[in-house]
Chain A
């Protein structure tokens, strides 16, 4: 079956009433879950996993995909409106998104991000459709040496992503890397820095750290200034939709974000988060408006949010064609298929064309639904800013705590949440950027893992890490970007921190 026939067949599967309902229910539930800080795509899909066992496999997967996309759409909402990213993939969106909200452009950013998410996911679906068999082998090209180059190089390039002085950004980043070493080590299972606390073996969770650093810290500063202001941000409500020039400026970042996201999705790893960071970095480097990025440029929100949706889509390529899960969500989807007696793998397309093509087609339908759903919701989300501070503070404290707790059902994550909140509050006061800490916490464990795997695989040969065409090229590119960035910055003595 060719791609076009496949898509038509898929559409005929996806428009069956129960599948349409599943997509809609998933999209709606996903949007709500995504908007709540701390509850991201993983939590959303995990929550509905048991439900999907009751449906036929196609319907169950379509519902999961709907939740997944819905929460990706919703995750950026609080980042833009309140500087509180609901998950790590929206951290960079908060930088410019929140600045724009403060300028009264909240509605415009939300609309541009919704359309960007649609563009990214739709183009990526087309890419998956026509190139999946070729692209599947991309994952095979990446071994420990290539992953090490990508993650260590990424750490180098992304650590200065949100400004700040060398020492401030470096400290934040390395603190993240150090926190990433806490817990049971991935390869040997040895416990590090756990001091006998069993719950710490699972490591310092990304969700409680992100929600604490941004959410709790933001709450504390709200509490502090609540006497001075009655509502969250003074918003002018007359302009809910983007101006013509804002639309025009968003097009290039959408396309670039799609490209970056699509590429990262093909490579096993935390694709959506990396893609959003990389897209932001790309905009800083190539956008015509790069001088404005960090101070409230539409590019800084449009690029990353497009990228993370494109990455989420193309991540289905290794999942469906290799049958290997590289993300928690992939593992959940494979688990859902296996319960139903469906074997993911290279033969999925032939053995279960209804699942493969139905899923692809319903991704498309789901995205149309989300766009239709989200544009009218922009007004609703913006009016969240009218919630009085005295109600908003306890509401967010409760929701953030539940979100942090629900990841592992662990009380420890609540203490991590509070601790991260204090660190975020202190760093904000001293102009130390927070985003590098998140980068370090995500990439640190990956760098170590691939370093150790490479050493074991090559039986201790360090030169192994420069073998092959891919690893040296990645290293070269990373060094180049880092050096150019450093030269550019030398003109300003103390770069400002780009966080709200």
Chain B
């Protein structure tokens, strides 16, 4: 096992050598993973929060493995197109990709005919980060705290509107989860455009609240235009330490956007082991953790079976939430 000491040039030459052998070397290659450049599929368009996190991870994994990793954006279909491309790829460890709790576990519940139905249909490699949703109101709004806001919501069912970045996106589902657990009726107003228009609706005074993600609202918070009332996670949020945690406030609503690295199912055992091990190392590098911190991501290191267990739990949460939404409408 000399792969870590081999300089990159040498590995590339070795890969080129293997390539000339062609089909005959196919079996040998599995043992010497990675034997050529890898592809990392991001099921979202460049821009937004998912592309940078993927590229930062890949840059670290490249350093550890000593091969190039081409990041390929395959957006569309609520991230199901790119995710499907990873899952259907050849299970040799050279094609991996980004998955989220929503694309991996929510989409199969509302979309038939996907290449996956449960966490058994792909390989869980490593969890990258969590991004918790936050609840924001205008700076001049009458509610000073999350408690006051919730009291107002309770007294005015369906009158309080929260803008979100699309129907059944993580922020929308978070508000629905709050509706369910607290027995209130906040109306969500779905906008599009990656959360920008939803925030604009709050700034322009067209809605009472906005549920979105820290990085996109941070600028407006610092400028004193909006305030963060709550963050939907256990414990305080490093980006907005003054915001109360939903759980501390007595509402068990934690539904972050969680991002993972996945691979096709059926990887050779030694490839899977090495992929998981090196990916774990990449997530633990100072570069990756510094990136996560400065962009409002929460680190929650998990790999392999622990990650899979978390996904199974999410699927159950989503199923309950869908049942609640269907029965209400």
Contact = CB atoms under 8 A, between A and B. Distances in A.
Interface of A: 46, 49-50, 53, 139-144, 184, 186-189, 191, 196, 198-199, 201-202, 268, 322-326, 328, 330-332, 334-335, 338-339, 341, 343-348, 408-410, 449, 453, 456-457, 459
Nearest to A188: B167
Nearest to B205: A140
Contacts of A408: 73-76
A461 to B, nearest CB: 13
A324 B199 contact: yes
Contacts of A191: 77
Contacts of B215: 338, 343
Contact of B204 (A141, A339, A456): A141
B324 interface: no
Contacts of B49: 335, 338
Given A339-B291, A346-B219, A347-B219, A449 B192 contact: yes
Interface stretch (B220-228, B252-260, B311-319): B220-228
Contacts of B74: 408-410
Contacts of B72: 409
Interface residues of B, number: 53
Given A338-B215, A339-B52, A346-B219, A457 B189 contact: yes
Contacts of A53: 55, 59
B196 interface: yes
A334 B75 CA distance: 18
Contact of A345 (B47, B168, B207, B223): B223
B193 A202 contact: no
Given A50-B71, A143-B204, A338-B52, A346 B220 contact: yes
B200 interface: yes
A397 B108 CA distance: 38
Contacts of A334: 47
Given A343-B218, A345-B218, A201 B52 contact: no
B225 A346 contact: yes
Contacts of B80: 198, 201
Contact of B46 (A49, A346, A449, A456): A49
Given A325-B47, A338-B295, 16 more contacts: A198-B80, A198-B81, A268-B200, A322-B220, A323-B219, A335-B49, A338-B215, A339-B52, A339-B295, A341-B295, A343-B222, A346-B220, A408-B76, A410-B74, A453-B189, A457-B189
A268 B201 CA distance: 12
Contacts of A332: 46-47
B131 to A, nearest CB: 12
Given A268-B197, A409-B72, A187 B55 contact: no
Nearest to B159: A459
Dominant secondary structure at the B interface:
mixed
Contact of A331 (B48, B76, B204, B295): B48
Interface of B: 45-49, 51-52, 55-56, 59, 71-78, 80-81, 84, 113, 161, 166-168, 187, 189-194, 196-197, 199-201, 203-204, 206-207, 215-216, 218-220, 222-223, 225, 291, 294-295
B197 A140 contact: no
9 contacts: A186-B166, A201-B78, A268-B193, A322-B203, A332-B46, A343-B218, A345-B220, A347-B219, A410-B76
A139 B77 CA distance: 29
A348 B295 CA distance: 16
A341 B290 CA distance: 9
Contacts of B190: 187-188, 453, 456
B327 to A, nearest CB: 19
9 closest residue pairs by CB, A with B: A345-B219, A331-B47, A202-B76, A346-B223, A201-B77, A324-B196, A323-B219, A339-B52, A186-B192
Given A49-B46, A325-B47, A334-B47, A140 B218 contact: no
A53 B219 CA distance: 21
Contact of A335 (B48, B193, B200, B225): B48
B206 A457 contact: yes
A204 to B, nearest CB: 12
Contacts of B113: 196
Contact of A201 (B76, B192, B197, B223): B76
Given A196-B113, A326-B193, A457 B46 contact: no
B199 A457 contact: no
A146 B46 CA distance: 29
A33 to B, nearest CB: 15
Contact of B56 (A323, A339, A347, A449): A339
A151 B55 CA distance: 36
